[in-house]
Structure 1
């Protein structure tokens, strides 16, 4: 076995060991993963405060205090409203589905004429199946959230451990990064360092930028739908903004749910349907206008890649996987592009003819000397 093969086996074994450790400690990972993500996002703020003359420990303590104050305000002010709207939505869902069916029937009867009976039968069956499976689906969703999101000693540990993890990571962030770089294999340190810089730039640009964009869109949709008088407007708007982390998916979800609620609330009122759609259409224009400045134009994350990452990581690691899916998918996209560029430069891609030509030219130049 050559030295190169031994090196490859070492890194494969190290990667497999890391996956095994993540699988073993999955039930207790949430506060540490959440703490690392928060520290990563807040590190630029800590750097700016330190550059302004504040001691890093004091600046980090200030950041954590403001972050916790914001979280407490959100929990005490916003979450009760969201839970109240969610409770109302679930309680009214059977009657809303009946009204939705009546509204759709009225539109279809007018538009389809003789074909209406067969179309009506299909729609009635679909809604009946949805009502029958609603309880099971919601129960399964609640179980998944509970098992993945609170499979810890208790919820109190999340509130206590996460700020501690954020504090110590932020205080020692640059020491940790420097130590990690010192552990890189010396023969490939420059290449790996450049790759890590590219990963950091891509993840930072996408996650921070897309996070800000989602917040803006969520507020816009919530305010717009609430001004229309749409029931559950805040819940639908903020959920649409959150799901906008995956381009197109959030918008499609919001349009479908918004129009469905409009139909159940206002019937086939084309004015209200048009106004609801206009809110989401303007949101798309706002996203297209803000995205280049907030996210950047060359991140290169395809929506299908992000959807796959969300499914894959949530399947492997539960709720923790959902948290890390987007940043990890951004990092993997950079690694895949790097590997593909290396492949295009290799003899495997260029073929033996090109490789042999290069060897012959090298030997010819050697003999000519």
Structure 2
């Protein structure tokens, strides 16, 4: 393979530097605009989810505007139906929780705290005396003043965040409608900007990314709803009063591996202890059975059949992606974490194929082979080595 001239090598290096700088600048702009980008990202995801159905309606003879309007109305009706069903149920659960709060306080102060004090040898009840807390605050008034300022600052930010959330709830469907209407046009414009000598590779990667994202997002949504229903129904059957609320919370956060089940188990055990005013072995065993059955169904039935293995992300990678996205970009980062990780996984697989067919990997005898051939060679190589060792 003839080496490139030095000037071409320098030009290529500078071009890579330029691309890296542009990528970093884009990430910086996203970080700055993260608070206002959330409704737009949510709208793009809704448009992406609804576009296949719009395309089917167009193929059936309807115009783009009519198809978009039908799909948009269908999505709104589904959301409204879910709210009509879930809001009264959640309201009942919240009322049950509020009614149980005095009993929780009594059980905590009269049973749980004394038992912990006797077990571990510390005096927790003293720190729950209001007068002692007031005296402690007076003796540390400067720190208390700083903490109060921090708390009030957080409350003011939270109030602003609440207003922003309400605005986003109304803004997201409006933006989603326009994205859905112009989806094909936007895709064509993005495709027109891709260099012509890379269009085939870009189309292949985009198709694989779309397939992975579709399998994961649509499948994971179904798994979340199914797990929420399983947990809520199971805990209601075993007699846990707050089972519906806990089951829904555990189901909604089950897209993060093991976090949904772990959170649900902790909340369910605490609710069972408070409800029984102590240890009810039958109730705790029922909770354990519900979450065990839920995890077995998720691992061996729901995820393999609905989500499949197309995303190819290890659970540790999923947890890291969600935590990193939340740390860097807040809620927007958590919303984008798994789609970005899925697309990055597709790009990494492509980079691995290119690397295995490169001179760096194979040496001077490198042969450029189509994607997939290298994997077949690596599967066959151990078999050939094993046969050569036989007498």
TM bin (shorter chain): 0.7 to 0.9
Further displaced range: 30-39 or 172-181? 172-181
Cα drift, residue 233 of structure 1: 1.5
> Which structure has the greater CA radius of gyration?
2
Contact 2:358–2:366, Cα closer than 8 Å, also in 1: no
Worse overlay, 213-222 or 176-185: 176-185
Counterparts in 2 of 1:99 and 1:328: CA distance versus 1, 3 Å: farther
SS at match of 1:24: helix
1:53 is paired with a residue whose SS is coil
Equivalence for 1:18: 26
- Map 1:285-300 → 2, pairs under 5 A: 285-287=296-298, 288-300=300-312
1:289, distance to aligned residue in structure 2 (A): 0.8
Map 1:160-175 onto structure 2 (within 5 A). 161-175=171-185
The residue that corresponds to 1:301 in the other structure is 313
Distance in 1 between residues matched to 2:324 and 2:79, nearest whole Å: 29
Tell me the CA shift for residue 175 of structure 1. 2.3
Contact 2:268 2:287 (C-alpha < 8 Å) held by counterparts: yes
**Residue number among 207, 214, 224 corresponding to 1:204 in the alignment:** 214
Residue 83 of structure 1: how far off its partner (Å): 5.4
Note if 1:68 corresponds to 2:76: yes
Instruction: Could you tell me which runs of 5 or more consecutive residues in structure 2 were left unpaired when the two chains were aligned.
Output: 1-6, 134-147, 368-391
Q: Which residue of 1 aligns with 2:51?
A: 43
2:272 to 262, 267, 272: 262
Matched, 1:228 2:225: no
Distance 1:171 1:218 in 2: 33
Corresponding position of 1:274: 285
Change beyond 3 A, Cα 1:280–1:318: same
| Change in 2 beyond 3 A, CA 1:140/1:307 | farther
How far apart, CA to CA, are the structure 1 residues paired with 2:265 and 2:201? 45
Moved more, 281-290 or 75-84: 75-84
Match in the other structure for 1:283: 294
Cα pair 2:216 2:310 within 8 Å, conserved? no
Aligned pair 1:329/2:341, yes or no? yes
TM-score by length of 1: 0.78
Distance 1:242 1:213 in 2: 9
Instruction: Report the alpha carbon displacement of residue 206 of structure 1 after superposing the two structures with TM.
Output: 0.7
- Aligned-partner Cα distance in 1 for 2:319–2:123: 28
Q: Deviations over 1:202-249 (max 9, x none)?
A: 111111101111011112212222233312212111111111111221
Instruction: Give the aligned CA root-mean-square deviation in angstroms.
Output: 3.6
Q: TM-score, normalised by structure 2?
A: 0.74
How many residues of Structure 1 are paired with residues of Structure 2 in the alignment?
A: 338
Q: How does 1:84-163 map to 2 (within 5 A)?
A: 85-86=93-94, 89=97, 92=100, 96=104, 99=107, 119-121=119-121, 150-151=163-164, 155-156=166-167, 158-159=169-170, 161-163=171-173
Contact 2:117–2:124 (Cα < 8 Å) also in 1:
no
| 8 Å Cα contact 1:35/1:163 also seen in 2 | yes
